Amino acid sequence: MSKLANLVKNKPFVFTLYFGLSFFAVGKSVLLNHIHNNYFVYKYNFINVIHQHTIFGYQPQFQDLNHYGPVFALLMAPFALLPDGFGVILWVMFNAWILYKAIKALPITEYQYLAILLICAHELMTSSSNVEINPFIGALIILAYVFIRNEKDFWAALMIVAGTFIKLYPIVGLAFFFFSKNKPKFILSLLFWSVVLFLLPMAISSPSYIIHTYHDWYGDLVQKNLANIGPSLQDISAMGLIRNIFNYRQLSNITIIAPAIVLFAIWYLRIKEYNTVPYQLLLLASTLVFVIIFSSSSESPTYIIAVAGVGIWFMNLNRPVTGFEIGLLVFALILTVMSPSDLFPRYIKMNYVVPYKLKALPCVLIWLKIIYETIFRKFNKEQSATSIVA
């Protein structure tokens, strides 16, 4: 264990693994002239917005579908204007960097944040090889918590609204509302940024185009949700597990999501613990995992968000950790993190993990363990909101 601890404390090693795996994944695709199509989905979001072409429905430029809002065009602008090779590398490394900054900003020790980076490193590479936006989305959720905790409600609101206008997931940042010391300011900030970000894309297009685009976006998301259910590479979720393991295709999402929301909300019953850092981090971990395992849109590269939550959960546990807790982490590292890689047995992956959505299983179990902790875990009184988790 001491050797493992020394490895975690070795910053050059951790940073090399965390950033290096992602750089290797995207760099290899550029050298082989095989840039993942997701990058062109993102790039043409910007190009189509400035030319006021529809951004939804089948896009012949990249032979795929775009599901991101017009605000995303503003984020992609500096990358889309570069040559594709440079743009895609900078995009992937930007995503890795923003997630790193968000994790580092948490109220935890240096050892803990380095350990979380290590836990995330391989899953980040999976996301990076697909040129995904998910590390950025996960970072926005984490930063929403960090800014609220640091009484910077104005910027917390920006994280939530910006993310929601891009991919909806960061709306779960509203779960941290009760941490705010100035709730009226937080609410007004949400309204302010909602108006600003609704209007901002009009500066590079037109008001009528953006209004029509948001109308189209709603229809696109409805259709996408219906298309996710079935033998696709999406729906890697609690619902997907049940649908595919028990061949229960008619299962409605709300049948699982409704009781899950009730379990999630149990966290709010322990009002006296709201200012306890480990309890706050428990909600953050729960939120990051929840938004993935209860979304029919979840696919393998999306799980960097959930794995960040798993890392925060594990490093936030009371010490010493139990064998059961270590087992859950190892189970997640093997089945959730490693199953997409070439190191995982291909037969098991293609015949069991992929068709039965088993990548979600460890995260579902860990989320249930988190819910158990929200009810029964005891916290030291000295672990106030001004303390650092040991």
Mean pLDDT of all residues belonging to the chain: 91
Q: What's the pLDDT at 5?
A: 76
Angle between helices 183-199 and 153-167 (to 10 degrees): 40
Q: Let me know: does 159 contact 125? Beta carbons within 8 Å.
A: no
Residue whose C-alpha is closest to residue 103's, from 119, 125, 92, 127:
119
Q: Give the model's confidence band at 384: pLDDT under 50 very low, under 70 low, under 90 confident, else very high.
A: very low
Q: What's the pLDDT at 385?
A: 40
What's the pTM value of the predicted model, to 2 decimals? 0.94
Tens-digit pLDDT profile for residues 235-274: 899 999 999 999 888 898 999 999 999 999 999 999 999 9
Tens-digit pLDDT profile for residues 152-195: 999 999 999 999 999 989 999 999 999 999 999 999 999 999 99
Q: Let me know: does 127 contact 95? Beta carbons within 8 Å.
A: yes
Tens-digit pLDDT profile for residues 6-48: 788 889 999 999 999 999 999 999 998 889 899 999 999 999 9
Backbone angles phi, psi at 363, to 5 degrees: -70, -35
User: Which tokens sit at 260?
Assistant: 């899950």
Q: Let me know: does 10 contact 4? Beta carbons within 8 Å.
A: no
DSSP code for 322: P
Residue whose C-alpha is closest to residue 229's, from 297, 284, 164:
297
The percent of residues above 70 in pLDDT, for the chain, comes to 94
Cα 119–Cα 124–Cα 130 angle in degrees, nearest 5: 155
Residue whose C-alpha is closest to residue 333's, from 313, 363, 371:
363
Residue whose C-alpha is closest to residue 235's, from 248, 253, 247:
253
Domain boundaries, the chain: 2-376
User: What does R_g of the chain's alpha carbons equal in angstroms?
Assistant: 20
Is residue 389 predicted with pLDDT exceeding 90? no
Tens-digit pLDDT profile for residues 284-334: 999 999 999 999 889 999 999 999 999 999 999 998 999 999 999 999 999
Q: What's the pLDDT at 387?
A: 38
Q: What's the pLDDT at 66?
A: 85
Is residue 390 predicted with pLDDT exceeding 70? no
User: Which tokens sit at 73?
Assistant: 């065009």
